[in-house]
Amino acid sequence: MSSLFNGIVLGELSLQNRVVVPPMCQYMATDGLPCPWHDMHYGGLGISGAGLVIMEGTAVEAIGRISLGDLGLYNDEQEAALKQMLARIRTYSTAKWGIQLAHAGRKASSQVFDAPYPVPPEEGGWIPIGPSAIAHSDRWPAPTEMSQAEIARVVESFTDSARRAGRVGFDLIEVHAAHGYLISSFLSPVANRRTDDYGGSLENRMRFALQVASAVRAAWPSHKALGFRVNGTDWIDGGITIVESIKLAKALRLAGVDYLAVSSGGNSRQQKLPPVVPGYQVHIAQAIKEGSGIATMAVGMILDPKQADEIVASGRADLVAIARATLDDPRWALHAAQALGEEIAYPRSYWRTTGKTWPGYKLVHPPPGAETGMQPAQPGRR
């Protein structure tokens, strides 16, 4: 049996395989509500063959949205709409379902579809909030520095959204603490210049993240999994480092977090990213796993089934997140299983497309790496 299609237990949540469709913003919501696009998009991912699908970054309050097109889970209408949508999808999906709870912080009030400009208040936007009054870039307004009372309010917003996620019926929550959004900006010295209990030392910079983790864990049923997406590094001098991220991982594990999705960057426009080659972030997930003992999910340019299987088989990460490759091929996990010689259930209506029933299958899906020549990423590769 391949390692990729061997099951795993996160906390008390059992997954049928290690393939994860991670959160990917769709920017198609109105007032935080899902629309028919979300039904189509997540319905398709629900029959992808992945063991876990995590819905896109979903704001815990209105000013926590990246854009006006973000999903939200901070009112009754949003809760009811997500509950109805998830129930429809589960009619056919055997995957476990998660949701990423997020607050965009100083990167909020953006134009949709990653346009690098803010929406001004007179056009429906707002002045963002952050740990310090430091703008994300020269195009962005300086955020309002949060008081300790505002920090407590946002912690409660995460807690309230976690309770709502439980009522919706999700199996897993992933808290977004990467990419320069609110929790990530508290963790990074690049964005956090506070002089109170939430700034300065790593212990202080971790305080907000740990308060969110403890509050969400207390509000989230013990049999359901809790994860955090974190930055392993900011890729900039003076930013968060892998050594610091290992200390954060240890603290999050003690707070009841079951896994970390390990990403990087996004806190500074001056970041110096390495070449974005297949598996370029896997070594960070490996370092955090080995240094803290927490389960990790590797993300970033994982494209090939053999590459993904090797990452898990070598123990460098426990799960792999297949993001844009799944948008490109919504049956990535099903095709990966066949490429690795695994038997995996296809949706009944698609049974004619399996390798056993369709003579054209091998022509459409040649052996892994045959066209690209990609090789599994090696330990330490950047």
- Other Cβ atoms within 10 Å of 127 Cβ, number: 15
Nearest to 64 by CA among 137, 146, 123: 146
Which residue among the candidates 27, 181, 280, 346 is catalytic per the annotation?
181
Alpha-carbon gap, residue 123 to 87, rounded angstroms: 35
Q: Which residues pair with 228 in a beta bridge?
A: 175, 260
What three-state secondary structure class fits 262?
A: strand
Tokens found for residue 59: 């704001």
Determine whether 181 is an active site residue.
Answer: yes
Q: Tokens 């088989």, residue?
A: 313
* CA proximity to 154, closest of 178, 134, 177, 120: 177
Joined together, the tokens standing for residue 339 give 């490429």
| Cα distance between residue 189 and residue 239, in whole Å | 6
Nearest to residue 239, comparing CAs of 260, 269, 210?
A: 269
Instruction: State the DSSP code for 373.
Output: -
What are the residue numbers of the active site?
Answer: 181
